[in-house]
Amino acid sequence: LAIARLSDDFFRRESARIVSQLVSAFGPSHLQLAEDVAQEAMLKALRTWPLSGMPENPGGWLAQTAKNLALDTLRRDQLLKRKQIDMFGSVHRWSAPVHERDLDHVGEQVEDSMLRMMFVCCHPAVPEHSRPVLALKTLCGFGTREVALALFSSEAAIAKRLTRAKEALAEADVPAELPLGEGLDDRLDAVLTTLYLLFNEGYKATGEQLIKADLCAEAIRLARLLVGMPFGDVPRAHALLALILFNAARLSSRTADDGRMLLLRDQDRSLWNRQMIEEGQRHLARSACGTKLDAYHLQAAIAATHCSAESFETTNWAQIVQLYDLLVSLEPTAITRLNRAVARGMQEGPEAGLAELSQLETANALQNYYLFHAAKAEFHSMLGETEQARSAWQRALESVPSGPERSFIESHLTKIS
């Protein structure tokens, strides 16, 4: 007898969905409440489903339970305070039982409210650096650790930013309704950053799986939605969508049949999704207007260069290095320079790559970044310098999180010894 099994990310995805739904209904100042009841509903499921069997619609069950818990709390608060008259309206609306028909449409409603809530989380009252943190943590179901890894920060720092962001939202008493048109311009960049990080997390997942397809698909869906709206139809948003599409087109070729991770060099290019690449090219073309060159433009152009190469050997590395030069002048971060060093190594040879990497030796951000050490290891291997390669792989292994990327590095170490 097979028992019903939930997908691996079920709770995390459903909690995120519930939080964004409740916050759209009750307003961002109730973010904490929404998170608390989402958690409580999840625990209630944990405590009852094993004894009663799985409900037919687990997602609907969770949503309804969280909603009831939220309403209970709000009613209790109302009795205590007898204020916040506007709340009565929302409580009323939400008091109606969730019908089967509504549940069918929950997906659609959330799809819409997801993007809306991203704009709410990126409200100007929230400190700039905290906006994507808030959105990723509360709306996209990221753990503190995942956010920290995505932003090259520590868990403690992220937790602190999150607290500040929530306080700011509650203090400003931000309404769930969005201003129209121009009022959103100052939030767009933070929303784009959030989508970028959401896709990256799916693309280079920190968990056991290499690729979390649902995170990637969600980022694509939201980005497409965004460029279809008047305020999102701007060059840098098209560039971001193009970048995401180019990378997504290569997703299926990144893992071997046995789950191993494959490098660009070893990927079967016939598996690349031509349709996505074409869609990416259309958006890249549409991004080529206006007066401002954005980092997304350059990253999309780099990805496009990879996508248009027939084989790894015929990759136009000169063009890629040029694009990285521009990117470094725009964003002189250690990570960007690391990527340029790799591209230069491909164009001019491993010595050139190593020479540029050695200039980054003192960069703090890279000390514990496994890809920095992995790049060094690769170049040393290419030069036949086994000893240096081994110690670089060893350093990479010390800082890589568990999962397919770890096995990848381990397999290189075994090969060398």
Binding site for other proteins (CB under 8 A): 1, 3, 5-6, 8-12, 15, 42-43, 45-54, 141, 143
CA distance 120 to 8: 28
What's the min distance (Å) between Cβ of 68 and other proteins? 11
CA distance 223 to 137: 18
CA distance 200 to 208: 15
What's the min distance (Å) between Cβ of 402 and other proteins? 13
CA distance 225 to 240: 13
For the record, the structure tokens of 180 come out as 């129209």
What's the min distance (Å) between Cβ of 87 and other proteins? 24
Is the CB of 43 or the CB of 365 nearer to other proteins?
A: 43
Please give the full DSSP string across 386-407, using - where no structure is assigned.
Answer: HHHHHHHHHHHHHHPPSSHHHH
Is the CB of 19 or the CB of 249 nearer to other proteins?
A: 19
315 to 131, 246, 307, 373: CA distances (angstroms)? 37, 15, 9, 24
What's the min distance (Å) between Cβ of 144 and other proteins? 9
CA distance 337 to 282: 28
For the record, the structure tokens of 325 come out as 């030069």
Query: Among candidates 139, 191, 187, 192, which has minimal Cα distance to 162?
Result: 139
What's the min distance (Å) between Cβ of 148 and other proteins? 14
What's the min distance (Å) between Cβ of 38 and other proteins? 9
Number of helices and strands (H, E) in the chain?
Answer: 20, 0
Is the CB of 68 or the CB of 319 nearer to other proteins?
A: 68
Is the CB of 5 or the CB of 292 nearer to other proteins?
A: 5
Is the CB of 41 or the CB of 366 nearer to other proteins?
A: 41
What's the min distance (Å) between Cβ of 212 and other proteins? 13
Which alpha helices (DSSP H) does 308-360 contain, by range?
A: 317-330, 334-348, 350-358
Is the CB of 42 or the CB of 327 nearer to other proteins?
A: 42
What's the min distance (Å) between Cβ of 51 and other proteins? 4
* Packed helices 10-26 and 31-52: angle between N→C axes, nearest 10 degrees: 140
Residue pair 197/151 in contact (Cβ under 8 Å)? The answer is yes
Residue pair 385/376 in contact (Cβ under 8 Å)? The answer is no
Is the CB of 72 or the CB of 104 nearer to other proteins?
A: 72
Is the CB of 205 or the CB of 377 nearer to other proteins?
A: 205
CA distance 187 to 136: 15
What's the min distance (Å) between Cβ of 208 and other proteins? 10
Is the CB of 49 or the CB of 312 nearer to other proteins?
A: 49
